[in-house]
Amino acid sequence: MKYFILIALGALFTANAGAHPDHNEIGMRQEAAAMTEATRAFLATLNEEQRESVQFDLDDTDARRGWSNLPTAMVPRAGLTIRGLDDTQRIALHGMLARGLSSEGYGEAMHIMSLEESLHAGLSQMIAAQGDDLTAERRAQGEAFLASYDPENYWVRIFGTPGSDAWSWVFDGHHLAITATVVEGRIAFTPVFLGAAPQMMMAGSSAGHRALQHELDRVSDLMASFDAAQIDALVQSTTRDDAAEFAGPGWAPEADAAPLGLSAATLTEDQQLLLRRAIREFIGAASSAAADAQLAHIESDGLEALHLAWWGDAGDLSRRFMLRISGPSLHIDFAREGQSDDGDVNHVHIIVRDPANEYGENWLESHYEEAHED
């Protein structure tokens, strides 16, 4: 029974990814139009000073690439913060975000933002407990982070003119960075950063609430399917400390980098279906047609073009680890974070990138070339 369920899931992945490319194209144009309308509606709620703060030139690649997952106490942001918006403006902003993401992605983003309250409360208790033992410098640092850990401390930037052939937006803050680039009705949604601390609430009325749990579950299912020889090929180091650089802010793919780890070409049919399920989960924050188009690119490359690499204890996902899934049109890093294996590891980071069309720049280059033809 399990085999037939997996076959059905694989067929669904393949059908969505490439069986109806015209449907994907139509769907993505519809999604791009809806997101454009919602972004225009948001801009219409702003006064002149706010519009000047939130709008950037599309060619300002430093600002477009200047997102971060770190707290604003460490990396200040540009644009407009939620805290500075009135109710009407907030409603319009969330309209834009909801149109730019799937229902799953929007829900995950809201959950991640809400976790800032838990971080704020925990740090506040820590500062109070240490009292006079804190130096003035450490107290000032703590207070800066207290101000940073805030569900309203998320920032939006819009690049170019929504409704033109090419435009973009970025929404980021602690543990969350979402990008969307529209080029001639197509949507590029990478990079996407999702993180959670705590990943699971351990006490209080929210005890047991989980963030990014399905991503963790899909990886757990995949890892449990590997035999000893596959684990040997997969694991690069048994310690997370030796992991490759997490593909976060400032990271760029190396065109000539040798693939690491286990080739997806060597996986059994059932394991390839489990890998497809995991990939679908990781890119599920994107709007449906945009995600389907990305799946089509991955299938076009061939699943055998993907490689998987692991750092950490491959048999215990409750300890620190990093999984990498990499290929021509996909790069995923998924890590359980923490200062040490014996410390607090209730903390995960996910990054999804597309080496072939990061920030939609492959489309943008073609767009500019065509626009300047004589």
Are 31 and 171 members of one domain?
Answer: yes
Residue reference for tokens 């620190």: 320
Task: Yes or no: say if 69 and 174 are a contact pair by the CB < 8 Å rule.
Answer: yes
Q: Alpha-carbon distance 20 to 259, whole Å? A: 31
Q: Which residues pair with 348 in a beta bridge?
A: 196, 336
Residue reference for tokens 């991640």: 112
Q: Alpha-carbon distance 254 to 247, whole Å? A: 11
Peptide bond into 191 cis (omega under 30): yes
Quote the pLDDT of residue 102.
97
DSSP-based three-state secondary structure for 245: coil
Quote the pLDDT of residue 96.
98
345 pLDDT tier (thresholds 50, 70, 90):
very high
Instruction: Give the CB-side neighbour count of residue 48, counting CA atoms within 13 A.
Output: 0
Q: First-to-last CA distance in the chain?
A: 60
DSSP state of 68: -
**In the chain, % of residues over pLDDT 90:** 80
| Element counts in the chain: helices (H) and strands (E) | 12, 13
Specify burial of residue 159 (Cβ count, 10 A radius: 0-12, 13-18, 19+).
buried
371 pLDDT tier (thresholds 50, 70, 90):
low
Indicate whether 11 pLDDT > 90: no
Whether residue 153 lies inside any domain: the answer is: yes
Q: Alpha-carbon distance 190 to 124, whole Å? A: 34
At residue 206, what is the residue type?
S
Domain that holds residue 58: 25-194
Are 269 and 126 members of one domain?
Answer: no
Instruction: Give the CB-side neighbour count of residue 288, counting CA atoms within 13 A.
Output: 9
Whether residue 34 lies inside any domain: the answer is: yes
Are 187 and 249 members of one domain?
Answer: no
Instruction: Give the CB-side neighbour count of residue 328, counting CA atoms within 13 A.
Output: 11
Are 218 and 148 members of one domain?
Answer: no
Token digits for 211?
């963030």
Task: Tell me what the pLDDT averaged over the chain comes to.
Answer: 91
Of 194, 219, 235, the residue at which a domain comes to its end is 194
Indicate whether 274 pLDDT > 80: yes
Task: Yes or no: say if 167 and 184 are a contact pair by the CB < 8 Å rule.
Answer: no
Whether residue 200 lies inside any domain: the answer is: no
DSSP-based three-state secondary structure for 321: strand
DSSP state of 16: I
DSSP-based three-state secondary structure for 336: strand
Are 179 and 235 members of one domain?
Answer: no
Residue reference for tokens 């704020």: 120
Quote the pLDDT of residue 255.
67
Number of structural domains found in the chain: 2
Indicate whether 260 pLDDT > 70: yes
- Mention every residue, 6+ apart, whose C-beta is less than 8 A from residue 157: 54, 55, 56, 63, 64, 78, 79, 80, 169, 170, 171
Whether residue 202 lies inside any domain: the answer is: no
Are 239 and 341 members of one domain?
Answer: yes
Of the candidates 43, 38, 152, 44, the one whose C-alpha atom is nearest the C-alpha of residue 95 is 38
Indicate whether 5 pLDDT > 50: no
Are 173 and 63 members of one domain?
Answer: yes
Q: Alpha-carbon distance 242 to 261, whole Å? A: 14
Please state the rounded mean pLDDT for residues 157-171.
97
Other beta carbons within 10 Å of 318: 11
Are 344 and 298 members of one domain?
Answer: yes
